[in-house]
Amino acid sequence: MRMWLIGAGLGLMLAAQNAAAGTVLIVGDSISAAFGLDTRAGWVSLLEQRLEREGFKDEVVNASITGDTSANGSARLAPLLAEHKPALVILELGGNDGLRGMPPAQLQQNLASMIDRSQAAGAKVLLLGMQLPPNYGARYTKAFADVYPQLAQQKKVPLVPFFLEGVGGVPTLMQADGIHPAANAQGKLLENVWPALKPLL
């Protein structure tokens, strides 16, 4: 009788774990698309491996496209939400907005819209912050960087303050273009995200 109860308890625990599993949708740009790398070496692939290793059943859908701006991501979001019905949406966008000198207010508006629509679809949201190199000017780089904490506070969503923390500007961790993280930086990117991501699973 006792063994039956233990078996039933384990069965209920496994059923609950499977029921709680959902889809993690990543909407990003070249950094999450593993530009210049074998996608199996990218941080998203490393995330999938870590989820499996730690016993999470969540499925990861990487909807990141190289070159995407926040406007591109916003335009793609509705069909992605409808198709995948994610439990969690990770937004990794803005770098291309900044590199093209687009207004930070436009970036904030696009990301705010994506957060609102994701939450309306029943998904949690994790926002990955970006920063620009200083050669874009102090005023612009500050306005750009401020978008992410302002949005996180306004929309009450968790934030990774700087996704490329410890990677950006480090030559040995960047590809030859100085923009995209190298293969040996991908584990660090995952470590930057994991503490904020894990509680949302």
> Which sequence positions are flagged as catalytic?
30, 177, 180
Task: Strands of the chain (E only): list them.
Answer: 23-28, 59-62, 88-92, 124-128, 159-160
Contact 124, 166 (CB under 8 A): no
- Under DSSP, is residue 125 helix (H, G, I), strand (E, B) or coil? strand
- Under DSSP, is residue 130 helix (H, G, I), strand (E, B) or coil? coil
As given in the structure block, the two tokens for residue 4 are 């039956």
Contact 44, 62 (CB under 8 A): yes
Q: Single out the residue of 196, 160, 189 nearest to residue 173, CA to CA.
A: 189
